[in-house]
Every structure is written in structure tokens, then in C-alpha cells.
Structure 1
Amino acid sequence: MAAVHPKLIQSLVDQTPRAMVAMLIVSSAYFGIFIRFVPVAILVVWFVFQIFLAIYRFYNATMFKKYLAQKSHEKIEKNELYFMLSNVFQAFMWTISSVLSIVYAPQPYELVSLIMIIGIITAAALSMSSLYKAYLVFFFSMIIPQIIIMISFGEHQHIGLVVLIFIYIPATILLSSAIYNSRLSSIEAHDDLEKSVDELHRLSIMDNLTNIYNRRYFFEMSQKLIATAFREQKPVSLIMLDIDYFKRVNDNYGHQAGDYILIDLVKELEKVMRNSDVFARIGGEEFTILLNNTSLEGAKVIAEKMRLTIENKVFIYNTTSIDITISLGISELNTENTSIEDLYKQADKQLYIAKNKGRNRVCASLTAT
């Protein structure tokens, strides 16, 4: 069985309560019309089966909802089969209703039964077309017995109705197909729009080259994290780092080599960082990391680990070995540095000190390692 788009199944689930209420209303109308002719015991049994069917359809819809949440395609397909079988059973019950009208009621009450069934089929095109194959099974299971019944009468008016039914068949199939295609197109368009929105959001917050946060989003996110840290009285530190003599890499090996170094550097640093750390490229070869729940001493340990990682890493670009180092400056959230701008400015000062002291080192406050 071909996979059905999950949102089409969700549409069917949403339609099920209304469809079952409508089915029970029509069943009640049939009961009221034919109670004068059909034995009450038979009608009651028939109506009870309709109630059981409605209960099962509610259960089937609940299972669809559960399996959609689990993303269990195998269980969804099995539930589709059960749904289809329940539709065949529903068609069988309405065929029985037609037979009862023929056996017990005088003419032209068989036409009343036919009109009810045509109405059910047409209404089902709205509620059931999301599972198009299931609807077609239901459609033909309902309509073929009616054609046979009308032909069995052999009278002019019944043959005329058969002709109308044969006109009705392609019209209804086209209607249900149009509904199905319209829903599917709408869902696919909505999915494409969601993907576009997600991609635009990603592009607005990520650095295109290194695939980490960009400067704008870093400052926006850091402001919120710092506000939370102040409320909860938790330590926060910030690391600024810069690749030493990066211009030489671009000049000696080309800008593509420089891009490769930036990408590979980010990958190496991410191995050292924690999931809670906020990593961003500020511009060029300059990066910043906001360390949640981390004191200045803790940040120095992390920064030194980063420095050693890059110092010991051999970057290979097109079989060429490129050695690089990084300098790092650290600041800490305190009574003097109360905003992301203050942290950034102080860490940048420490980075400048690290550069002036010979690069490839970590500076925090007035000390260096």
C-alpha cells in the first residue's frame, strides 16, 4: 500500500466525528421511515451494527492519531487496511438496508433507500477522499449492489435510474479526485512554505560558511541568557578568540584554504565545547563563545583546552599542511560587566592583550597563561 501523506490522514481523523454523526443521523432517518414495514427486531439489530461501526471508526481514528504521533508507517498502513475493511462492512450494511426495503416495503420505497445511499456516497467524498483508494473501495461497494437491485426490477423507471447512476459514477469519481488533489496540493504548498520559512530563519541566525550562529543572533540570544543568569545568580563567562596571522593563510594558500581552515577550526572547537555553550562567528577569523553557568576560572580551563587543541591540530588542505594557533580573551559577568556589550568589550580587551604578548595564549582579567 502506497504511503499516504500524514496530513491527509490527519484530515481524515478530523473529519471522522462529523462523518459518523451524519451516518447515525441518516441511519436514524432510515429507522424512522421503514419502521412501518420492516420488523422492529430486524431494524434494531441493523441499527445496533451501525452504532458499533461508528464506535469502531472513532477507535480507528484514535489509532491513526496515535500512530501518526509515533511516526510508525507500518502501523499506519495496517490501520488503513482496517479502515478500508470497515468501509466495506458499512457498504454491506447499507446494501442490507436496501434489501430490507425491497422485501418488506412496497414500491417505490426502494427509491428512498437508493436516494439515501447516493447521499451517503456523495457526502463521503468530502469526509473520506483523503484516503482516496479507501474511498473508491467504499464507492463501488455501495453503488454496484444498487445497480444490480435496480436492474433486477426491470421496470422502465428503474432502468432509467441505472442510466443516471452510470452518469453519476464518473462525475463523483472526478469530484472525489479533485477534492483529494486539492487537499494534497494545499498540504504540499504548506509544507514548502514551512520549509522556506525554516530555511529563511536558519539563514537569518547562522553563519553561511561555518554553520554556527552569526553576530546578530549571538547578541540577541546572549542578552536573554544573561538576563536569566542575573535573576538566578549564576556565573556566565565569554571567550573571544581570533586566529593568529590568518591573513598569511589567505595570502600564502588562497582564500579557499582560508575558508577550509575556518570550517575545520569550528569543527575542532565544537568537540571541546558543551551543548549549553553559545558559539558564533563575529566576523572574518574572529569567534565568540558564551559559557553558561561558568566562572572565569572555569572559562580559562576551557579556553586553554581550545588553544591546545588547535595548536596540536594539523590542518591539511590539498595535501598541504597548515599550522595555526589562536589567541583568546575572557571576561566574566559581574557588577562591572552587566551586559553582553560589556562582556564583549572586556573580552576583546583581553584578546588584544593576548595578541600583544605574543599570541597563542589565553588572557583573562590581568593574568595570562
Structure 2
Amino acid sequence: MASSNFIDYVKINCRSGAGGAGSVHFRREKHTPKGGPDGGDGGRGGHIILRGNPQLWTLLHLKYRKHIKAESGVAGEGGRRSGAQGEDVILEVPLGTIARNPDTGEQLAEITAENQEIILFPGGRGGLGNDHFKTPTQQAPHYAQPGEPGIEEWVVLELKLLADVGLVGFPNAGKSTLLSVLSAARPEIADYPFTTLVPNLGVVAYRDYKSFVMADIPGIIEGASQGKGLGLRFLRHIERNSVLLFVIPADSEDIRQEYNTLLNELREYNPELMDKDRLLTISKTDLVDQAELERIKETLPKKLPVTFISAVSQQGLDELKDSIWERLTVTPEPSE
């Protein structure tokens, strides 16, 4: 999918509907000339509602809808007839969408489940008709409540992809190739640095009809947490991954240093990422001999689970999936 079609951040103006006014009306029939007040209530204004849709994975459909307006409620009528409610506006969004106040950054809502609905901005209540205000001493009230106004606010919708495993690595580490081999996802693969311009999701089949979701995040470079490269824009997606899988090619000059640099960029972006489970896989093992692999093993963190794979020759992939599944289903000791 082209990068222009992946939208994970939109700012829109929302206005919920105003409530309808209550009615001031008196019953006037041929045989009941002084029937008393019978004004009906106004209808509620329409809500602005967020709804989770697992078929969506981008906010592209909202990119050009800068103003969202719900319908106002209808005024009440005589005969105690209530006005109709304003029609709600339902905004379908991908799972993992967060709504924030653009000025304060306050989180207003979070959608994480299919068909989950959250009222983002409620419509105004309809006003009560004059029928509600009659008393023994005030039998003909000539007033009713106006409807409450709706709410008009700007809101930011921000998508953080929901995935079990997030692939973390420098450009050209082999993340896209790994995702394409393990799942049905078909990310663009080439030999230039920033092949992956947008996150890609794939469902990885496991034993006994089990599966997990893997996300390929665009390559991080040193300084990504300060805005260099493409990493900063997409680092937010890593916050939703249960397990972080660091991918470093076997022909790298210093694998331990690359791992530490990646770890530091995540720490600088959000220290809470250090609490996530971590795995390390050494990719492109077909490019080095066995002696070099043995040397690499001696340089790696001792407590960090490590696998050696080649996506091209499909070596070590079952072992990698076993290691991922174990991390997803068992609470491990903290990584080094």
C-alpha cells in the first residue's frame, strides 16, 4: 500500500446536535376550551460517536472530512408530542484509535475492540415542554425549556496499530522480508534504505491453528527519537505491541552496538517501552559462515532470547515462532 494511503493522524472539527426546544402549547378542543398545557418535549441532539471497525487500518477516510456535524433535535409539539431526536454521526475507526484534545493532549477516548462505541461529544438535551411546569398555583405556564446547545470542539484522532509483535530494526535489516515469509503480507522489498515507508501488518500462522499479528515498523535510525529519519512518526505504533522483536543482520559491523542504539532510541522516545518483552533475531545468516555465527553468539546479551534466521533460505523460522509464542503466552523474566 502506498504511503499516501496510510494516514494515522487527523484533526477534525466536531459539532454535536443541539437539543430541540420544548413546546408551549395549550389543549384547545371544541368541548375542552381550557384543557391546560400540553406542550411536548424537544428531541435530543445527535451524538458524535466513535465505533471500532477491524476492517479499517488507516484514518484515510477521515482525512478530508474536516467538519463533522450531527443533526439537531426537533422541537416538541402540542398534544404532548415529543420532537424527534437528531441523527447521530458514527465515525468508524480502526482498532487502536485514540481521540485527544489537540490543545491539552488529554485522552478523550480509546477504541480497542470490534463494534466498541464511545460517545465522543454528546448531543444537547431536548427542552421540557410547558406540560412539565404546571402546578396547583400555576396551571397555565407560558414557558418551556429551550434545548441545550451541542458541543463544538476540535479533536485529534491518532492511530496506534494493535499488533502482538513489533519488528524493530535499522533500515535494510530484513524486517519486510521476514514479514513476507511468515505471513501473507506483501510489503515492498528493495535494497535501498527506507523500503518500508508505512507500517505493515501480517497474521502469522502458528501450530494447531493458532496465530499472532506482526507489525513491520519503518526502519529506525540513530536520532529517530529527536525526529531524524522516518522512525519518529511511527514509533507510536510500537507502544501497542506486546513483544518487540529486534532484527539485526548477521553481517552488521557491531550487532551488540546496534541493539543498544535501537534500545536507546526507544528509551528516549518513551521510557515505558523498556518494560515490554524483547526478543532478538539475527537475520541474513546465509551471508556468514558458522564460525562467524559462533563469534556473534559470544557478543550477545546473555539473558535476551536470541534466534538465528535466514528468511531467504527459511532457516530458523519455526524456532523464531516458538520463541515469540512463548513470550506471548508466558510471563518471562525481564530482559537484559
Higher CA-based Rg? 1
Q: Could you state the TM-score of these two structures normalised by the residue count of structure 1?
A: 0.23
Q: Could you state the TM-score of these two structures normalised by the residue count of structure 2?
A: 0.25
Asked which structure has the greater RCO (Cα within 8 Å, sep 6+), the reply is 2
More strand by share: 2
More helix by share: 1
